[in-house]
Each structure stands twice: as structure tokens, then as C-alpha cells.
Amino acid sequence: MDSPDNRIGIVAVVSLLMLSSFSIVAVAQNSDAGEGSIAWGLILCLLPFMILALFGILWSLAYPALFIWGAAFSSGDVEKSHQDAISRRMVSREKAGKEILNTINGGYRGDVSSSGLVHANGVFGPSHWQLLIAFFNNLVGGSVTSFQQVISAGRAEVMQRLREQAEAQGWDEVINVRIDTSSMTPQSQNNKNTVRGVEIFAYGTGIRYD
């Protein structure tokens, strides 16, 4: 089975083997050579840890910058994408002459010629700034506006994707539309550095009239 998972495993194992054999060769060489090769052997052995440390340094530099970027632009971006989805919705509604999505189960017209499954999805997450705002909102109680904006903008976007998908596949209408919302974050929170996102998934049955 030539799946990408297998290939990734092979590449990882081969690179680890190469790294260890290089370091062994380097250490073996230094027994008859001078002190310079001992240093090289050490460097080769420590290379993975050095790369990890480099990532740590980069992360500690990048995190505050990204956090400030998020604080400055995230709520504006959410608002913009919501407006964008609404305007695209108007365009596709004009093109079809009506709203093509509905939640009626079963064909209510007799002249259906073909049908099939249509689905669209998207994963949306609040920025860390919005998480912080939500934390303070939770202390006071009431509606958590920052989350609500993210979710409703995401849902509008996914519904629009479903409309566009139905248009692209040539369906006249999509019946029995269902919207699922599921958290990408696992329930057991051992580590804090998990990605927080909500997946919105919309699916329905596209039908075509004669």
C-alpha cells in the first residue's frame, strides 16, 4: 500500500538511521584523528536538540507578534468574512432566482429526475486574543460576543460553500440540509497547546428537476 503515511514513516526512519550512522562514523574517525572531529561528532549527535531549541526560540519570538496581530485584526477580519459571505449569498440567490437550500425531507415535487449528496465544510477558530476576551466575558456572564461572531461568520461561509458546490454540480435545489457543529479540540485536556477550532459541516441532497 503506497499511502503517504507509509512514505513519511520510511523517510523518518531512514533519516534517523543516516543521522546516527553519520555520528557513529564521526566518533569512530576521531579515535585516530585529532580533537576537531570529536567536536564534529558531538555537534552531529546534538543536532536534533539544537533544531528543537531553534524552534523554541523562534516560537517565543513569533508568539507575541502573532498575538498582537490577532488582537489588532482578528475581529475586523471575522466581520469582513461575514460580510463577504452575505454578499456572495446575494449573488447566488439572484443567479438561481430563489434560495436553493431548504430543510424539507423528501421531494415535495414529483418531477425530480436525479439526486445526490452535496456537502461542504470549514474549520474556524477564535484568535488567542478573542479567547482572552471570552475569558473576561465569562467572569461577567452574559453573551460571549467574540465567539458568537466567529461561529456565525463560519456558518454563513459554509452555507455559501454548499450553495456554490450545488451550483457547480448542477443541482437545481438542495433539500434536507443538515448542519453539524463539532469541536476539533479533544475533550481530555492534558496539554494546553492544542488547536482550538470548531468544524462546521453542512450537507444535503441535491435534486434536479426535469
Partner 1 sequence: MEQVVNGILVVNTETIPGKIITETMGVVSGSTVRAKHLGKDIFAGLRNIVGGELTQYTELLQESRQEAVGRMVSDAMSIGATAVVNVRFATSAITSGAAELFAYGTAVKYE
Which chain residues interact with partner 1 by CB under 8 A? 8, 62-63, 66-67, 69-70, 73-74, 77-78, 81, 105-107, 110-117, 119, 121-130, 150, 154, 157, 169-170, 175-176, 178, 180, 182-186, 193-197, 199, 201, 203-208
Cα separation of 193 and 189, whole Å?
9
* Residue 29 beta carbon to partner 1: minimum distance, rounded to whole angstroms: 33
Indicate the residue among 30 and 81 with the shorter CB distance to partner 1: 81
CB atoms < 10 A from the CB of 39, how many?
Answer: 12
| 22 or 125: CB nearest partner 1 | 125
Give the span between the Cα atoms of 59 and 80, in whole angstroms. 29
The type of residue at 106 is G
Q: How far is the CB of 55 from partner 1 (least distance, A)?
A: 9
| Minimum CB–partner distance for residue 35 and partner 1 (Å) | 37
Contact 198, 151 (CB under 8 A): yes
Shorter beta-carbon distance to partner 1: residue 5 or 35: 5
- Reading the block at residue 153, the C-alpha cell is 461568520
Q: What is the sign of the dihedral through the CA atoms of 28, 29, 35 and 41?
A: negative
CB 130 within 8 A of CB 74: yes
Are 102 and 167 within 8 A, CB to CB? no
Amino acid of residue 25: V
Minimum gap (Å) between residue 174 Cβ and partner 1? 10
Nearer to partner 1, 35 or 210 (CB): 210
Q: How far is the CB of 203 from partner 1 (least distance, A)?
A: 6
Phi, psi dihedrals of residue 209, rounded to the nearest 5°:
-90, 160
Q: Measured from the CB of residue 130, what is the shortest distance to partner 1 in angstroms? A: 6
Which residue lies nearer to partner 1 by CB, 81 or 137? Answer: 81
> Nearer to partner 1 by C-beta: 48 or 116?
116
Nearest to 169, CA basis, from 192, 203, 123: 203
